[in-house]
A and B are shown apart, each in its own frame.
Chain A
Amino acid sequence: MSAGDAGSARPAGGVDIEMAGSGGACVVALAGEHDLSTLESIRAALAERRAGLATVFDLTQTTFVDSSVVNLIATLSRDARAAEGPGVAVAVSPGSHPARVLELGAVGELVSIHESREQALRALGLDD
């Protein structure tokens, strides 16, 4: 085996935040790869959410997540349930890598997981 090129550019782990569900939800869309190193940018985006809105994590354009992202989603879901406040839901394509990681993380009973952003919004009682 030869040494690989460890310094090559990586696909950016983008974070977009947008309103949806007739203004009732904030969608946090994660593009590309997300791990420990992008966690702060996800947290920064979450801090911009307006209070009182539901949150949808849209992972349909995500190519990689690690346990730190699962931990973050599980913690937010847990706190939202405990506070009986606005809900948290996740949209993830079936069979994708992020879907597998969520399954491995065994957060199914806590986190509301759906196949598309529209379904996630409907599960929160909102229109897309």
Chain B
Amino acid sequence: MSATLEHPALLHGSTQEFLDFMAPFVGEGVDRGEPVFVAVGGELVEALRAALGRRSERIGWAVTDAWYPNPLQRLRAFHELVLRELTQGARRVRLVGEPLWPPGEPELAVEWQRYESVLNEVLAALPVTLVCTYDASRLEEAVLATARRTHRSVYRGGERCAGDYVAPADFLRGRRAPLSPVPPSALRLESPRDLGAARRVLAEQALAFGLSTEQSWDLCLAASEVLGNALRHGGGAAELLAWSERGSLLCQIRDRGGGIADALAGYRPPDARAESGRGLWMARQIVDLLQIESGESGTTVRLRVRRPAA
């Protein structure tokens, strides 16, 4: 067992196949006294618990739909969980996770795939084994093929199969959800320079659209961070746009700066001692999705926040 990250994927064709792989894996962790934490679908939680008997009491459990259902929050939660366990004396941590595939949200599905890739970098130096499980009986073959690109090893049908691993920065450059067109009716602020004024305009839109007060705060903070970056590094923001699409409020900020070269910008947790690098990282956590399209002629950052179900 190596001293650094192992991050294999399991493509399980049935609950039994899931158990055949996972029960020995988490059981061994318990027997060795390693901290074990499992966040998978509710049925898989119940099946694995039953298979482990008394040993299940020494495992942390979560249902994946309810445990940080935002990929960036999940990334942070895993990272902080591992650091906490290591601080408390653990030598190695075992994690099991299942990404979410929200129906009718193709952009979010892409973001979960990007999260899978980023994990390889964020947890790289830590003594962790994180097994990600994919329900091969329900997921499209394209999703399973992508899992091969975000995991160094992949198990299917009881066998380890050839991977197709791609370094995170390359994966992120190639795997981006396209930005939908901006409707002509979008609210438009030309050359916004006053952060507070932009926040107030956006807050008004957010509340009128039906976001909660907390969501409105979060959207305004995220937009303010992005606008601040554009004003500092982007040669001034060209415009700020806001509109609604499929039950979400979207906000987009475009600048004419030299672009963001780092494909992982805002994905790496900053060190508590860092003097900067928190803005984009905070923004990614508090909206449902933050997308960046960056090139030589400038950067477009799009924020998306879903309206809560009535």
Contacts and interface: CB of A to CB of B under 8 A. Distances in A.
Interface in A1-28: 1-8, 10-11
Given A36-B232, A64-B220, A68-B279, 9 more contacts: A4-B189, A4-B204, A6-B194, A6-B197, A33-B199, A37-B195, A64-B221, A104-B285, A104-B286
Interface of A: 1-8, 10-11, 33, 35-37, 64, 66-68, 70-71, 74-75, 78, 97, 100-101, 104-111
B160 interface: no
A122 B176 CA distance: 50
5 contacts: A2-B187, A33-B199, A66-B224, A75-B275, A107-B272
Interface centre among B80, B196, B274, B285, by most chain A C-beta atoms within 10 angstroms, is: B196
Given A10-B194, A10-B196, A66-B224, A3 B188 contact: yes
Which of B186, B198, B221, B242 has the most A CB atoms < 10 Å from its CB?
B221
Contact of B272 (A5, A35, A36, A109): A109
A107 B287 CA distance: 20
Contact of B282 (A2, A8, A104): A104
Contacts of A105: 278, 282
Nearest to A82: B273
A71 B225 contact: no
A1 B242 contact: yes
A101 B214 CA distance: 12
Contacts of B270: 106
Contacts of B278: 67, 70-71, 105
Interface in B260-301: 269-270, 272-276, 278-279, 282, 285-286
A7 B217 contact: no
A7 B242 contact: no
Interface in B175-232: 185-189, 192, 194-201, 204-205, 217, 220-221, 224-225, 228, 231-232
Given A66-B221, A97-B217, A11 B196 contact: yes
Contacts of A101: 221, 282
Nearest to B283: A67
B78 interface: no
B112 interface: no
B272 A8 contact: no
Given A35-B224, A67-B225, A106-B272, A6 B279 contact: no
A15 to B, nearest CB: 15
For chain B, which range describes its interface: under 10, 10 to 19, 20 to 34, or 35 or more residues? 35 or more
A67 B222 CA distance: 10
Contact of B243 (A1, A33, A66, A97): A1
Contacts of B273: 74, 78, 110
B285 A64 contact: no
A64 B270 CA distance: 21
B216 to A, nearest CB: 11
Contacts of B189: 3-4, 6
Contacts of A33: 196, 199
Contacts of B231: 36
Given A67-B225, A67-B279, A75-B275, A10 B197 contact: yes
Nearest to B240: A6
Given A1-B186, A66-B279, A67-B282, A7 B272 contact: no
Given A4-B205, A36-B231, A101-B282, A10 B275 contact: no
A71 B187 contact: no
A110 B285 CA distance: 21
A110 to B, nearest CB: 4
A6 B198 contact: yes
Nearest to A3: B187
